[in-house]
């Protein structure tokens, strides 16, 4: 085998080894690629965020909104998610049981309502 041919084969094999590694680094680092578990976490968080928005809307759309907002402001910080759960605002339309993961983001959103109102 000629020296030129062996060099081409050597660099070709290195290209086959290093090329996919570089593509994966670029794809996962800057290309926005994700693995299935990361995608599932992102999707679950998006669902919680949307449900929290619905929870806040349900809180705002009640008849005695001003009274409930004032009462919410007086509740201790560590009990605010319980207040949301007891009020039933974390229960989504069509659901029989509320998702407990919605309470804290919803309470944070209602807290923002208080801050923007002031």
φ/ψ of 37, rounded to 5, equals: -65, -35
Tell me which long-range contacts 8-15 makes (C-beta under 8 A, separation of at least 24). Answer: none
Indicate the pTM of the whole model: 0.74
Per DSSP, 3 falls in state: H
Q: Copy the structure tokens of residue 36.
A: 């299935």
pLDDT in tens, the chain (118 residues): 677 788 889 899 999 999 999 999 999 999 989 999 999 999 999 999 999 999 999 999 998 999 999 999 999 999 999 999 999 999 998 888 888 899 999 999 999 988 887 6
């Amino acid at each position: 085998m000629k020296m030129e041919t062996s060099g081409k084969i050597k660099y070709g094999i290195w290209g086959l080894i290093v090329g996919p590694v570089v593509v994966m680094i670029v794809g996962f680092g800057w290309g926005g690629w994700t693995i299935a578990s990361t995608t599932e976490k992102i999707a679950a968080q998006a669902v919680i965020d949307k449900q929290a928005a619905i929870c806040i809307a349900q809180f705002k759309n009640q008849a005695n909104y001003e009274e409930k907002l004032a009462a919410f402001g007086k509740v201790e910080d560590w009990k605010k998610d319980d207040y949301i759960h007891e009020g039933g605002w974390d229960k989504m339309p069509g659901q029989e049981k509320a998702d407990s993961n919605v309470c804290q983001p919803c309470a944070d959103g209602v807290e923002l309502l208080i801050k923007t109102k002031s």
